Structure 1
């Protein structure tokens, strides 16, 4: 009597899936038929040792290699998604299909197998009252990890409600970007249509998302470039915040040493620095004083120092000819604006 074995589900990553699909198309059969045929020939012919040639199968299989903690990368990915999408009580209420999509569209059956394995090892638990694919799940270490949080983190969690809606959204955007960094995404195409690929921990290519035939090139590009766009906007925001903080007036009753605050009429240096960042002022210098393109902040600052006859904008706060020259340039800019350029 032949031993009874449970059906085996295979997961094949994007790069390998495309390879198998092309080979199956050449043989005019379905990909699963080709894989089954090749496996039968290899295993029944006892060729697996010769093909592997002493290599560890985990080092060759994409997405199935063992980590130092004994988990496969797919298991680790599911654990991460359960933690990321858990609610306040620690339970993740996403369906199996949703978890499969978040883990790289690996298939609901694969996720189900991973859940069974993790539950068997005591890593997660699930409520049995709900339908199987809708059951809430959580990591078994949730309560312990919550109690281990430092007091400062608990206090920050209690203060989170005091943040404005915009600040809360910005904090979530930063956290979301940090969770996927460095996010090396790229556009690709296979027989099924356009898709987005990403490099995983060990350099293997995985499919993140697929698009319908109705998706335009611009829409696919927008999605693929989303991480870089978010990174650029966050950097731009951080630069703006640093600039604003540097120009703030010292707290009343605790004045800081150095030049007067930016809004002080006598602080021409700070006023000049802010003016040099205005797009309209840059165009004014280009049209009226021959500033060459590109109109960068560095070029603008150099041109202003040349016009005013100073080596540093700090000299504008010393009074004398430099201050008067800045007042004259400022008035000329105001008149240019009023005249409608």
Structure 2
């Protein structure tokens, strides 16, 4: 008796996405008009986009998804009324608390991810780039060309407000 061996295949874990209020309601209404379940409609739309990089580029243009995505746990601050995601607040918090006396964060970026409970280094890099575009952090060159980060004046105001919120 011959038994054919099947190669093990790894199934990627599912991705669960929560849509904020107005967007979720819009999906529900669209699904109802079509006679679809909202989750099935979203999955069908996403499956059409996943393999169509050009269509995603047309839809998104030059904007960065992290800046466009509604919801995402945004926190509106007096010092930064446009709002920041919880992860952006976390990175500012880590940079503020773990900077050297001169205000420069010289640790490896992976340390930020560890402090923030296992956030991937690519995500940390994306957050730092977004915070830099918002004028909240600056990249500084250290010895041997290493990249370090520091909060700008605006970033320090945000950090101070976040820190005061913890003691309240």
TM-score by length of 1: 0.26
Q: Quick check: which one's strand share is greater?
A: 2
Higher RCO, Cα 8 Å, sep 6+:
2
Q: Choose 1 or 2 for highest CA Rg.
A: 1
TM-score relative to the length of structure 2: 0.50
